[in-house]
Structure formats: C-alpha cells, structure tokens
Amino acid sequence: MNAARSTFVAAIIEGPAAERVPIVRWLGVCFAVTLLFTLGGLLVGTTSMATSIHWLFAPNAQSALVLWQIRLPRTIGAWCVGALLGLAGAVAQGVFRNPLAEPYLLGTASGAALGVTIALLASGASVGALAWAVQLGLTGAAVVGAAIAIVLTLALARGVLQTSNLLLSGIVVGFLLSAITSLLLLAKPELWRTLQVFLLGTTAFLGWRATALLAVVLLVCALPATLLSRGLDALTLGEDTARSLGLSLPVLRLALLGIVALATAAVVGEVGVVGFVGLVAPHLARETLSVNHRHLLVASPLCGGALLQAADLVSRWIVRPAELPVGAVTACVGGAYLAYLLWRRTRDA
C-alpha cells in the first residue's frame, strides 16, 4: 500500500506523461473504497453483521425498511455531506489561498446554530410561535441563519475585494453569532444538549428526502465550481498575476463564495456542523493526486464523501446500538490526520 502510494506520488512529480494513468487508478481506488463503505453502510447498524447479510439475501418487511429506507439513504446522504464539505473546503482554500481555510469560515456554522437556537426557543415560547417554527423546521432555520451570517460577513468586509478582511469578518461574525447563541441559551439551558449534538453534527436522521436535497445541491455547486477551476489555478500565482491573465477577481470570488455558502448551509441545515472534513479532504486530495483544481475539485469531494461515510460507519459501530455524534468522529480522525501532516512537515523541514 505504502509502496503503491509512493510510486503514485513519484509518478505525479516526475512527468506529465505518467500523470494520466494515476488519475484513472486514483479514481478506481476511490470508487472501490466508496463502494466498500456504501456496502458497509448497509451492513452496519443495530443488528449483527450476520443478520444484515442474511437480510440482503432473504428480505422481509423489516429488512426492507431498515436497509433501504434507513441505512442506504443515511450512507449516501453522508457521502453527499462529505462531498459538499470537500468541495466547499477545496474552493475556500483556493479562494483564500490558505491551506487552513475551511468551509465554515464565513460564519455559517455560528449562523446556523443561532438559527436553530432561535427556532428551538420560539417553539417553546408560545403556541403561535410553535406553528411557524415547526413549519420552517430546524433545517430551514439553520439555512436562514447561515445565509444571514454570510450576508453579515460580506457587509462587514465591504464586499469581496480583500480576502484578509473577509477572513477576519468571518471570524468576527462567527464569534458574534456564537455569543448571541450563548446568551439566548442562558434563557433555556436545557436546550444545550440538543444544540451541542447539532454543533457536533449527526447523520442519524438522513433519509431519502434529505439525501435528494443534498445531491441536488452538490450538483448545483460542483458544476460551476469545476468550470471556475482555471480561475482557482490562476489565483495560486497571486492576485495580481491572476488579474493580469484576464480574470475578474470580484466576480470569481463572489461566485466561488456563493458556492461555499450554499454547500455549507445545506450541510449545516441537514446534519449540523460536521467539522474537519472540509479541511482535511482537500489536503488528502492534494497529497494523493494533484493540486490542479480541475482535478482537485473532483478529488476533494470524492475524498470528503468517503471520509464522512467512514466516520458515519464508525459512529454507528463503536457503541452500537447507541451511537456517537458523527462530528465527534470526524474531529478525531481529521485532527489525527492534520497532526500527522504537521508532524511530517516539521520532520522534513
């Protein structure tokens, strides 16, 4: 495995002629892994593995429900979430030309959390408020909150001209909205546990409806992003050089940030704040394949999807039939991977 990987990397570094083959091989490996995880997603749950396998070949009413209405949409939905985060992470790191940029840097996570908190508070406040809160749903509240956060960030940075301003504004807005959330929670601390699991992210309730929505958003985000990949490549040469090549930076940034915003809002709305995937997936794609955004914007979602599927499996498996919040798993795995990257870099330096 390790040898294969080093020849892999060597091939990419050595010559352009060799580059084509690893891409095919890379995609092959990636699809195989994803398929494996999807199968795992069907088999891992509250039953024993043997029962799950038996169900595959001798279906009954309950197995149909559990396998096809619960486990399959959940694992595919998890893949979509990971892919969206991988895409958003790759785009964010490209736009901000910063390998530590991540999808939530526009304050979307805090905004979504605030939206959910307000919805939860409103639902407890009065019967009248209950009606709209239920109708809008926690998902809708999260998306609205994320959108408001992005608008605030852009307003504070006075547009998209200065990436450093944008980064700072994102942090400021994030802190501000988190503070408001905390203050609101003072009024109803019993919501803390609900919100905490929301903040850690959970794939537990991903059904076909949510999965379909996530898949549509993924398509809507991925197509324009890949079209803009040359712009992201140009940006790696520096902003002035990119402009001299004929790029309109404001238009490019606005379009790309729009993609990041849509992707993260959808994710936060459906599963909560799943951390680290958006940060780690682009690194993984760059490490194993290529930094060229034409490849990266495909590879990073594929990595992110597989990563989150794996995390979802772990979260269902370890303490079954109870489970861990999937965000806690990704934080562990992602943190370990980043620590490894850092360790390797400091060792090589």
Partner 1 sequence: MPERPAKLPASLPALACQGLVVGYGDRVVLDRVSVEIPGGCWTAIVGPNGSGKSTLLRALAGLLVPRAGTVRLQGRRLGEWRRRERAQRLAWLAQTPGATDLTAREVVALGRFAHGGWLAHRDVDDDAAIDRAMRATGSSRWAGRRVSTLSGGERQRVHLARVLAVEAAVLLLDEPTAHLDPPHQEDVVRLLRAQAQGCGVAVLSAIHDLSLALTADRLIVLAEDGLVGQGTVREALRADWLSQAFRRRIDVVDHLGAWLWRPAVDGVPDA
Partner 2 sequence: MIGFRGAGMRPRLPLMIAAWCCLALALVLAQVAGAVVLRDDLGRSVNVPTPPRRIVSLLPSLTETVCALGACDHLVAVGRFDDWPPAVRGLPRVGDLDHVSIERIVALRPDLVLLSNSQRASNRLGELGIPAFAMETDRYQDIARSIRLIGALLGRPRRAAALIAHIQAQVRRVSAAAIAARHGASPTVYFEVDPTPYAAGPASYIGGLMTQLGVRNIVPANLGLFPLLNPEFVVRANPDIIVVSRIDARRLGDRPGWAGIRAVREHHLCVFPAAVRDTIMRPGPRVAEGLRALAACFARYAR
Which CB, 210 or 242, lies closer to partner 1?
242
Q: Kindly state whether residue 178 participates in binding partner 2, applying the rule CB under 8 A.
A: no
Distance CA 115, CA 95 (A): 27
Q: Kindly state whether residue 189 participates in binding partner 1, applying the rule CB under 8 A.
A: no
Q: Please, which residues have CB within 8 angstroms of residue 23's CB and are 6 or more apart in sequence?
A: 289, 290, 295
Which CB, 78 or 234, lies closer to partner 1?
234
* CB-based burial, 53-85: b 16+ in 10 Å, e otherwise: eebeeeeeeebeebbeebbbbbbbbbbbbbbbb
Among 7, 62, 236, 248, binds partner 2 (CB under 8 A): 62
Q: How far is the CB of 29 from partner 1 (least distance, A)?
A: 21
Residue type at 136 in one-letter notation: L
Q: How far is the CB of 48 from partner 2 (least distance, A)?
A: 12
Closest CA to 271 of 124, 79, 125: 79
Distance CA 259, CA 263 (A): 6
Q: Kindly state whether residue 15 participates in binding partner 1, applying the rule CB under 8 A.
A: yes
Which CB, 36 or 237, lies closer to partner 1?
237
Q: What are phi and psi of 70, to 5 degrees?
A: -115, -60
Of the candidate spans 70-78, 89-97, 141-149, 338-346, the one that interacts with partner 2 by CB under 8 A turns out to be 70-78
Distance CA 102, CA 106 (A): 9
Which CB, 114 or 225, lies closer to partner 1?
225
Distance CA 158, CA 273 (A): 26
The length of the chain is: 349
Q: Kindly state whether residue 293 participates in binding partner 2, applying the rule CB under 8 A.
A: no
Q: Kindly state whether residue 324 participates in binding partner 2, applying the rule CB under 8 A.
A: yes
Q: Kindly state whether residue 268 participates in binding partner 2, applying the rule CB under 8 A.
A: no
**Kindly report the CA angle at 128 between 127 and 130, in degrees rounded to 5?**
60
Q: Kindly state whether residue 269 participates in binding partner 2, applying the rule CB under 8 A.
A: no
**Residues found near partner 2 in the complex (CB under 8 A):** 45-47, 62, 65-66, 69-71, 73-74, 120, 123-124, 130, 133-134, 137, 186, 189-190, 192-194, 197, 202, 204-209, 316, 319-325
**Residues found near partner 1 in the complex (CB under 8 A):** 13-19, 227-228, 230-231, 233-234, 236-238, 240-241, 243-248, 286, 291-292
